[in-house]
Amino acid sequence: MNSAFLATSDIVNFKDQNIATLAEQLASDKNNKTEIAKACFNYVRDEIMHTGDFNMLLTTCGASDVLAHKTGWCYAKSHLLCALLRANNIPCGFSYQRLSVNDDGAPYSLHGLNALYLDEYGWFKVDARGNRDGKDGKSKMFTEFIAGQDSYAFALNPEFDEYNMDEVLEKPLTNVVDALMTYTTSDEMRQNFPDV
């Protein structure tokens, strides 16, 4: 296993005390890495508000900022999930989908998610984007953690050239990080979603 999938960084900053403490709490009563991974996934999915869905004003990027403000776009949520998994010695990387912003062709945007590795299953993708629409607690973005199975919040529409990026990356894409760091309000971000 490439050690880069367990590394800390400015974005995946799991040495931050708040992340380290949360990672330990999420793992405390679990029997194995699969249970730990599921607990980390559920926390990010359910406790971190998706910036767009909840009309949050702030755009976050680094894992510690996402945790501190309890909000993030899909990309930022994937940064926090990666940090929590790596803090628990579970290899994690980044993956993306290319989706139509308005479900009708151009313009397009990347959608951020994670891939993680468990010995019993190998690599599989998980999408902790968010599961609440403010009405019944669930929406079309609801995803479950099923060990060994890829799970996506968005189904692809090949008619509009949407696709999954198959590669598992050690670090988030530079243009994704640049967008999150440059466009600090949600309105700015909506006008400048990163693409390939």
What per-residue confidence (pLDDT) applies to 131?
Answer: 54
φ, ψ for residue 48, nearest 5 deg: -105, 120
Residues of the chain with pLDDT under 70: 1, 131-141
Domain definitions of the chain by residue range: 10-191
φ, ψ for residue 179, nearest 5 deg: -65, -45
Q: String of b and e for 114-135 (b: at least 16 CB within 10 Å)?
A: bbbbbeeeebbbbbbbbbbeee
Dihedral sign from CA coordinates of 167, 84, 18, 55 = positive
Q: Quick one: tokens of 38?
A: 């599921």
φ, ψ for residue 66, nearest 5 deg: -60, -45
Distance CA 65, CA 72 (A): 9
Distance CA 173, CA 170 (A): 9
Q: What is the pTM of this model?
A: 0.94
What per-residue confidence (pLDDT) applies to 140?
Answer: 52
What per-residue confidence (pLDDT) applies to 136?
Answer: 44
10-191 — its CATH code?
A: 3.10.620
Task: DSSP letter for 118, please.
Answer: E
Q: Quick one: tokens of 42?
A: 């559920």
Distance CA 138, CA 157 (A): 22
What per-residue confidence (pLDDT) applies to 105?
Answer: 87
Q: What does the CA dihedral 88, 173, 96, 4 come to, rounded to 10 degrees? A: -30
DSSP helix/strand/coil, 17: helix
Distance CA 108, CA 53 (A): 18
